[in-house]
Amino acid sequence: MTNDKRTQIGKRVAQELQDGDYVNLGIGLPTEAANHIPEGRKVVFQSENGIMGVGPAPVEGQEDKDMINAGGGYITALPGASFFDSATSFAIIRGKHIDVTVLGALQVDQEGNLANWMIPGKLIPGMGGAMDLVTGAKKVIVAMEHCDKHGNPKILKHCSLPLTAPHCVNLIITDMAVIEVTPQGLLLKEITEGYTLQEVLTATEAELIVPDKLK
């Protein structure tokens, strides 16, 4: 993924985070959102390895080897941040005290099912905290590229990979579009500048509900 795409997705995710939200960011792309919170908006970021009050990524050369997120990436801590053990961290998550979680995905389907933890036959580190986050958070946002590295759609009619959890995704934000999961199906909310409706439809296996304003 190019830095431009990463930044674009991170900025769009940040728009979904409201003042006062407690937010968990998954490893990789989702962490980009922490770098784009509008000035004056207070969002508290949590990492499941035991930090509440995660700040933006540190300036290159100023990393602290003892300050990392759950994926091993360097972080900063904002004034008032707290540190705690994994038991407390998952009590926060399972106790439904997290307003939003932002996760990456291998696949999402039109029923809001999420597959983001394994590809059969490949060595993987495990599911981590994803299964707790998607059931414990009040809102689940998936941040990912619209297609995989081979150009295959990642938004499908039905996930073919093992699920992380069923019927858990609320919003999908990709480099091409913003899509809401509704009881009626996948609602296309926005098309990213530079793409056409036809390009989004072609890159999406699942059926999309397209409002008149986007036609």
Query: Annotated catalytic, 48?
Result: yes
As separate numbers, helices (DSSP H) first and strands (DSSP E) second, the chain gives 4, 13
Side-chain half-sphere exposure of 207, counting CA atoms within 13 A: 5
Enter the DSSP assignment of 194.
T
Enter the DSSP assignment of 120.
T
Q: Say which residue the tokens 């992380």 belong to.
A: 164
Q: Taking the alpha carbons of 183, 187, 189, 192 in that order, is the dihedral positive or negative?
A: positive
Q: CB of 33 within 8 A of CB of 197?
A: no
Active-site entry in 48, 145, 205, 207: 48
Q: CB of 129 within 8 A of CB of 48?
A: yes
Euclidean distance between CA atoms 6 and 136, whole angstroms: 26
Torsion of the alpha carbons at 34, 37, 43 and 45, rounded to the nearest 10: 0
- Residues labelled as active-site residues: 48
